[in-house]
Structure 1
Amino acid sequence: MVKPQTSTEAGTRVDVWLWAARFFKTRSLAKQAIDGGRVDVNDLGCKAAKTLRVGDMLKISRGEERLEVEVLALSDKRGPASAAMELYGETETSRLAREAAREQHRLIGASGPLKRPDKHARRELQRFKSTR
């Protein structure tokens, strides 16, 4: 199990922490997200080597998902998901916004994805078009 560092120790690089907290699968993906401007530390842009400290606020965008988390502990080693969840706490507004977006996406996607007509449907379309 990964033991989080105490707040008296030096900080951790942002890209390493994002990887250790399991926001990104690899450290290079975390670095690409930071370079792409999809990660903000304390409402400011950052670089991958920025030192992260306990109490910092991060805004992370992954695809359509937007997260706002507070750093609760530091770690530079990737451990199990249960240990990674102890490294951060998501804000209540972020959690509610994500749930609302998930529900909205579920309602929109309820009709199912559009797909190409199969053989039977194509023949029905041909019959319909030929009778006009």
Structure 2
Amino acid sequence: MTADEGSVRVDSWIWSVRLAKTRSQAATAARGGHVKVNGERVKAAHALRVGDEVRVRQAGRERIVIVKRLIKKRVGAPVAVECYQDNSPPPPSPVEVPVVARRERGAGRPTKRDRRELERLRGER
């Protein structure tokens, strides 16, 4: 289950320690430039070693972790937490997150009045 003597693909490790739900999501994040190892953007097949700093950007939040142990297979959450040291900043509180204006489904096109109210909320007018 562990691969302490070698290296592991970064997408496989991200998936194994539960920073991504699927391995394909981890590979897509790496391909899209959302994964950095020691400050450099890497591809999914990049070899990860113990002591590397991994930054994963997901859902508008950046996770910063230090690799403590290499694993190749997905493990339970309590074991996965032991494989890295989390240095991520705390998530923003719900008060700090801006509110997104949304229309109810099936409400149709916005009227001129609705559009002007949305522009006023966004600060465009």
Structure 2 length-normalised TM: 0.74
Which of 92, 95, 103 in structure 2 is aligned with 1:107? 95
Q: Does residue 78 of structure 2 align to residue 90 of structure 1?
A: no
Question: Higher helix share goes to which structure?
Answer: 1
Residue aligning to 2:25: 29
Among 77, 82, 101, which residue is 2:73 paired with? 77
For these two proteins, the number of residue pairs brought into alignment is: 104
What's 1:63 paired with?
A: 59
Structure 1 portions without partners, runs of 5+:
117-132
Name 2:37's counterpart in structure 1.
41
Structure 2 unaligned runs (5+)? 105-125
Aligned to 2:111: none
What one-letter code is carried by the residue in structure 2 that aligns with 1:72? K
Q: Which residue of 2 aligns with 1:119?
A: none
Which secondary structure state, in structure 1, belongs to the residue aligned with residue 82 of structure 2? Answer: helix
Identical residues among aligned pairs (%)? 35
- Give the CA deviation at 1:65: 1.6
Structure 1 outlier segments of 4+, above 6 Å = none
**Larger Cα Rg: Structure 1 or Structure 2?**
1
TM-score normalised over the length of structure 1? 0.70
Q: How much is the aligned-residue C-alpha RMSD, in angstroms?
A: 2.2
1:115 CA drift (Å): 6.5
